[in-house]
Amino acid sequence: MRFSRFILTLVCTSLLVMILSIPVVSARFYLNPVDSSSSWIEMPVVPGTLVSADFVLVNGGEELTTYDLDVVDAASTDEEDGFFSLEPNGSEQFGIGLWGSLSSDRVALKTGERETLTVTFLVPEETEFGHYWGGVTAMVVEAETAQGEGASVKVEVRNGVRAHLEVMSSDDYEAWLAAQNVDDEEEVVEESSLNLMVWMNVGILVLILAILLAYLKIRGAKKKKF
């Protein structure tokens, strides 16, 4: 019994240490697309045109925080092992990071507060068709922390949301739009069919109850006669 308690105590202590050792800075704030159908900002676009998307910046920390926002290109998109990284803020951009602009590049949020922002991409006319990756980032520069021998360190915490643009021809874009409209119509039809089926089931149930009550009433009347 003592040995079992010792093992249980050891396991609980280990779990507690693991939980406490997880950095909390990564959970202080985050960005999400307003379109909940995807965890990324995904849009098709034709060269020479612009597209926009909304995203939400949320302050999950415990104090008023100011965030610097930017649009940057992807440094790597090796999907085989799931690795994805973004170019440093302020570095030279060549794609999404060059085409993107934000409704605001600096936002101050109170604890638990959120703000909806817009990113807009203006794709040059000479852009080749294909897939382009990048992201929208929010960064916080922590106050200087004193170190040994008079040195100090500033900690930069950066979080972001992926952005994916598929640059396509006008014909392909029109076909994509047509496919979206068909999907929307199918959803409306499915919802209407579902509502009709529900009402049919309710009607059948009411009819069965009416027949049952009529049967019981007739049966009761016959018993009274005899």
pLDDT tens digits, one per residue of 92-139: 888 999 999 999 999 999 999 999 999 999 999 999 999 999 999 999
Percent of the chain with pLDDT over 70: 68
* Positive or negative torsion for Cα 13, 18, 24, 25: positive
Residue type for 18, please? M
Q: Please write the tens of the pLDDT for every residue from 175-190.
A: 988 888 765 554 544 5
Superfamily of chain region 24-168: Immunoglobulins (2.60.40.10)
Taking alpha carbons only, the member of 103, 114, 102 closest to residue 61 is: 114
The two three-digit tokens of residue 70, written as one number: 């930017």
Alpha-helical regions (H) of the chain: 2-21, 96-99, 170-225
Read off the pTM: 0.64
Position 22 pLDDT exceeds 50: no
Q: What is the mean pLDDT of residues 84-99?
A: 86
The lowest-confidence range among 37-46, 68-77, 181-190 is 181-190
Rounded to a whole number of angstroms, the distance between the first and last alpha carbons of the chain is: 75
pLDDT higher than threshold 70 for residue 2: no
33 confidence band (pLDDT: 50, 70, 90): very high
| Number of neighbouring beta carbons within 10 Å of residue 99 | 24
What's the residue count for the chain? Answer: 226
CB atoms within 10 A of CB 33: 20
